[in-house]
Structure 1
């Protein structure tokens, strides 16, 4: 009987988001595929350093214990299969249990997300992330300049989400951009009891919520970090209640810079749709941009 990924949290991740391949990537981006392959082969026995999403992957894999397999991490990369050898060697060196990978040698890899039943795709390639989001998968473009996770909470996985255009649809954001703050607040008061439509990351939040209820060795802690403020906060809370999902913390910042608050929460990863918030977040924590919604030309 074939192995099944059913009932697992499946994270697909590019090799560059998992490991620090920034210097090698310069050669890859130049278009000299043979030179890039030769370099990776030359460095095969030199483990790559951890990348931006490394700490998140390491902690998610710690949810697996004994015979209970809750999380599967798959390398999904534009690299060639030879370069993929170094990614697997690096994972082995760092003690990451990675068994599966798909290497497409320059072609868009997002089409394999369906076969993987992926709950999340992390990549530094914006086009691949946009394709994944358009296909209905939670996906984010990892900011290469992000501060790496501090590692101060070894028994907790901390993940922070923006609200509009991430957990929720960008319906309210469109009202704000078209009519300004007063029209946005009027709209939210009028529709306070109507749940917001789901955004691209609702399926991931649901999957994490299921893991939160599991008897796992690592605890999951989630936070909503949004530019909403009172009175628009109520609709966000009511929406989560309607979904029967609880977040551990909620921050309604009313336009305050998010970076300082994220620095205090210390998430292993932060997801936001807006470039300004991502740039602020990246100064404090590992950050990925959800390139969806009106803020990203959607």
Structure 2
């Protein structure tokens, strides 16, 4: 990977690199075929975990996994459940219900792009995130879904100085930012992050910025779309992956050739 190549050049003795582990419930007998396929497609895989018919999810923490991706929704849900089991539940102010915050494993279901083939950068890793239900909890999404846009804006204005609770992908962003910080400002960083959200910056952007500041994290570019379609800006960004909790948005952007990962979390997935 281009990110690891640049990190090794700057920090030859550092172990803080991207590490890709192929985890499968297949038997070790298929190992040769897997290796042949990896070599054929010129993929980068550092380690293998072959479980001989058992689920590999129990080994995610052993591999210190920051992000688990799979096309198997059941395995993704199982991975998220493991993370939530070691997380904490925080009561929402003024509400007896609970927000579940994951301190464990970020996981998402992969969807291949549609028939459109986009040209992805081979010099920069571009990762795009939705906000509510992905980087952040679904606490504000609940207000929008249950009470409408005006109530959502009122809620965000009232709570603009109160950081949002973390979502499932917060710790993956944290890992990306940690790697980004290894590059000084004079260098072009080989990792770029984007927030692509349906929020309006004028009515609901302040809380997003203040939340990220309170976490000590940064996003390189913000796309506050105020309800407009996410497809056009994502086509311009050409991300290697876009994390989204709402299948409605995923189905639309996939048709434009965007590689997406569904985060099965929160009110949009109930």
How far is the alpha carbon of 1:232 from its aligned partner? 0.9
* Map of 1:272 onto structure 2: 244
Distance in 2 separating the partners of 1:87 and 1:217: 35
* Map of 2:68 onto structure 1: 121
* Map of 1:11 onto structure 2: none
How far is the alpha carbon of 1:270 from its aligned partner? 0.4
1:296 to 2:269 alignment: yes
How far is the alpha carbon of 1:99 from its aligned partner? 3.5
* Map of 2:132 onto structure 1: 164
How far is the alpha carbon of 1:102 from its aligned partner? 1.2
Decide which moves more: 124-133 or 106-115.
Answer: 106-115
1:143 to 2:90 alignment: no
Name which of 13, 29, 32 aligns with 1:82: 29
Distance in 1 separating the partners of 2:125 and 2:219: 13
**Does structure 2 conserve the Cα–Cα contact (< 8 Å) formed by 1:149 and 1:268?**
no
* Map of 1:19 onto structure 2: none
What is the number of equivalent residue pairs in this alignment?
240
Name which of 91, 110, 116 aligns with 2:57: 110
Distance in 1 separating the partners of 2:42 and 2:203: 47
Distance in 2 separating the partners of 1:146 and 1:245: 32
Question: How high is the TM-score relative to the length of structure 1?
Answer: 0.74
* Map of 1:72 onto structure 2: 19
Name which of 217, 222, 239 aligns with 1:245: 217
Distance in 1 separating the partners of 2:118 and 2:2: 13
Distance in 2 separating the partners of 1:217 and 1:62: 14
Decide which moves more: 268-277 or 73-82.
Answer: 73-82
* Map of 2:86 onto structure 1: none
**Does structure 1 conserve the Cα–Cα contact (< 8 Å) formed by 2:70 and 2:108?**
yes
When the two chains are superposed, the root-mean-square deviation of aligned CA atoms in Å is: 2.1
* Map of 1:100 onto structure 2: 47
* Map of 2:101 onto structure 1: none
Distance 1:147 1:87, change over 3 A: farther
Distance in 1 separating the partners of 2:179 and 2:29: 35
* Map of 1:27 onto structure 2: none
Gap runs ≥5 in structure 1: 1-57
Question: How high is the TM-score relative to the length of structure 2?
Answer: 0.82
Distance 1:217 1:127, change over 3 A: same
**Does structure 2 conserve the Cα–Cα contact (< 8 Å) formed by 1:63 and 1:218?**
no
How far is the alpha carbon of 1:198 from its aligned partner? 0.5
How far is the alpha carbon of 1:261 from its aligned partner? 1.1
**Does structure 1 conserve the Cα–Cα contact (< 8 Å) formed by 2:135 and 2:166?**
yes
**Does structure 2 conserve the Cα–Cα contact (< 8 Å) formed by 1:63 and 1:217?**
no
**Does structure 2 conserve the Cα–Cα contact (< 8 Å) formed by 1:193 and 1:238?**
yes
